[in-house]
Amino acid sequence: MPETFGKRQRKDVKARKAAAAEERRLARAQRRRDREAGLLEPGPPVATPEEIEESLGIAPLATEE
């Protein structure tokens, strides 16, 4: 059954989407305040290659020296 079937489910989905949008709005406002205070660098967050590999679940390569 699709998520949007029926009035109650539409209402629940809309409420869940509204809550998620509000969380994103608050997070953006917090990042904006942190940037103004100098706690964060301006611009979008840039992940290091190691962070990207961790998020993808890739094991880091062992380097031989």
Mean pLDDT in order along the chain per 10 residues (65 residues): 70 93 95 87 77 77 57
The predicted pLDDT at position 18 comes to 96
The predicted pLDDT at position 38 comes to 85
Both tokens of 53, joined, read: 């590999």
pTM for this entry: 0.54
Question: What is residue 38's DSSP assignment?
Answer: T
Nearest residue to 44 (alpha-carbon basis) of 35, 55, 33, 56: 35
Rounded Cα–Cα distance for residues 39 and 35 (Å): 6
